Amino acid sequence: GAVVSQHPSWVICKSGTSVKIECRSLDFQATTMFWYRQFPKQSLMLMATSNEGSKATYEQGVEKDKFLINHASLTLSTLTVTSAHPEDSSFYICSAPGQGLAYEQYFGPGTRLTVT
């Protein structure tokens, strides 16, 4: 089946620095990708919808200047957490819809971000 990868799988950064997370669709093209954030023992909260060739659509309450999303190609979307703080520590998951069937939604393995 289709595969979505994320890199890195985990990252530790210092407060105030920026970190970039990549989401790639490995064997299919994705004009749309979704970015979720999951705090421990909580659900996945949609942060934004990444659209290839256009601006991302952010959910209410998500700071677009802090969480920069770029969808530069049909197989790559990136999420950059700028000026990270400890409260940004979380599990970030991307997903992409499949090519046709309504139930197809492929998730990356997630990136665990720890800000010290």
Partner 1 sequence: AQKITQTQPGMFVQEKEAVTLDCTYDTSDPSYGLFWYKQPSSGEMIFLIYQGSYDQQNATEGRYSLNFQKARKSANLVISASQLGDSAMYFCAMREAVSLSSKIIFGSGTRLSIRP
Query: Looking up tokens 């999303």, which residue turns up?
Result: 69
Figure out which of the listed residues 14, 53, 65, 102 binds partner 1, where binding follows CB under 8 A: 102
Among 26, 73, 109, 116, contact with partner 1 (rule: CB under 8 A): 109
Q: Is 18 in the site for partner 1 (CB under 8 A)?
A: no
Only one residue has tokens 């920026």, namely 18
Give the interface segment with partner 1, choosing from 20-28, 69-77, 79-87, 100-108 (CB under 8 A).
100-108
Q: Please enumerate in sequence order all residues whose Cβ is within 8 A of that of 85, keeping only pairs 6 or more positions apart, or say none.
A: 15, 16, 115
* Number of residues this chain uses to bind partner 1 (CB under 8 A): 25
28 lies in the site for partner 1, by CB under 8 A = no
State yes or no: cis peptide before 40, omega within 30 of 0.
no
Establish if 31 lies at the interface with partner 1 (CB under 8 A): yes
Q: How far apart are CA 44 and CA 13, in angstroms?
A: 22
Q: Which residue, 49 or 89, is less far from partner 1 as judged by CB? A: 49
| Smallest separation (angstroms) from partner 1 to the CB of 82 | 23
Q: Are 112 and 19 in contact (CB under 8 A)?
A: no
Residue 6: both structure tokens together: 């994320």
